[in-house]
Amino acid sequence: MGAEGGLSIGNNVAIGHFANILTTDHQFTDTTRPIKDQPLLHRPVTIGDDVWIGSNVTILAGVEIGPRTVIAAGAVVKHSFPEGHVVIGGVPARVLKTL
């Protein structure tokens, strides 16, 4: 878990084993420079109240997870689900069920 880009975790959040929450991303703008020398983008992650993050979930930089969301094990969350009240899963994560 990295918080360089900003991380907000609500109340009553459960985080499973080996979950990854990333707040930085690489910017590839100059093809003549090595990847390691490219700038990092810092983007906050926001996780609402009563969220359950399953094992081996990866949440990428800039994502907002709304309240009462369940994230299935192994999901890769690359875009936001700000309204919440859903079960999401898959690679990339999508809504599986509305709660």
Strand order in the sheet with 94-98: 14-15, 52-53, 70-71, 86-89, 94-98
Q: What pTM, to 2 d.p., does this model score?
A: 0.91
The answer to the question of residue 62 being in a domain is yes
State the pLDDT confidence band at 42, using cuts at 50, 70 and 90.
very high
The pLDDT of residue 27 is 85
User: Is 60 within 8 Å of 42 (Cβ atoms)?
Assistant: no
Cβ neighbours of 91 (radius 10 Å):
11
Catalytic center residues: 26
Is 90 exceeded by the pLDDT of residue 32?
yes
Residue of 93, 91, 85, 2 whose CA lies nearest to 41: 2
Note down the domain range covering 3. Answer: 1-28+36-66
In a domain, 61, yes or no: yes
Of the candidates 48, 46, 44, which has an alpha carbon nearest to the alpha carbon of residue 10?
A: 48
Q: 14 in a domain, yes or no?
A: yes
